[in-house]
């Protein structure tokens, strides 16, 4: 009797400690050799959003951000992607998104797309690299990397800023985002 109680208590401790550890893992993400910490989380009936920033950044002032979406009302990318592109990306984007199908994926559906958002402020544009997958358990999850690129209003300077921000890193970002385990 005592042995079974000890075993039950030990099992519960192990169960709860492993949940704490796995929950702690979700509070930090590494992308592009930088650490991002969870700074915002919100859950509704339709989705769960988690935003991660580098240490020292805030939601009001950041240069790089990682966001993870769990699209609760969708069981396939095709359920959400066309509407997301039409209603969120296209109205706010500088140009049509560049979209690729990740053919090396272990998931049912896997798309990577990039686009530039133009906020109401003209002092920067936001580069977004977005991966949207359908997991093998029929969940739709997104991983988004966002980078603010400073704008001056001078075409030559702004073009140089975009080039220098993306040229060296873009291919590595595509490769890294395509390999991230999202389940």
pLDDT tens digits for 60-99?
999 999 999 999 999 999 989 999 899 888 888 888 889 9
φ/ψ of 166, rounded to 5, equals -105, -35
Q: What is the rounded distance in angstroms from the CA atom of residue 62 to the CA atom of residue 153? A: 21
Q: How confident is the model at residue 14 (pLDDT cuts 50, 70, 90)?
A: very low
Q: What is the rounded distance in angstroms from the CA atom of residue 169 to the CA atom of residue 18? A: 35
CATH number of 29-179: 3.40.1000
> pTM for the whole thing?
0.81
């Amino acid at each position: 009797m005592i042995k079974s109680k000890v075993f039950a208590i030990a099992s519960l401790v192990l169960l709860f400690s492993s949940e704490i550890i796995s929950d702690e893992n979700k509070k930090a993400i590494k992308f592009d050799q930088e650490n991002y910490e969870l700074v915002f989380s919100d859950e509704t009936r339709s989705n769960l959003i988690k935003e991660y920033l580098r240490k020292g950044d805030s939601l009001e002032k950041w240069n790089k951000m990682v966001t993870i979406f769990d699209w609760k009302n969708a069981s396939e990318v095709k359920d959400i992607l066309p509407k997301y592109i039409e209603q969120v990306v296209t109205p706010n984007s500088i140009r049509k998104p560049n979209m690729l199908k990740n053919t090396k994926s272990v998931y049912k559906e896997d798309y990577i797309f990039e686009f530039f958002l133009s906020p109401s402020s003209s002092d920067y544009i936001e580069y977004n690299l977005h991966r949207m997958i359908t997991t093998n358990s029929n969940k739709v999850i997104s991983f988004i990397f966002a980078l603010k690129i400073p704008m001056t209003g001078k075409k030559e300077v702004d073009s140089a800023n975009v080039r220098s921000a993306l040229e060296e890193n873009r291919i590595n970002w595509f490769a890294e985002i395509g390999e991230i385990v999202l389940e």
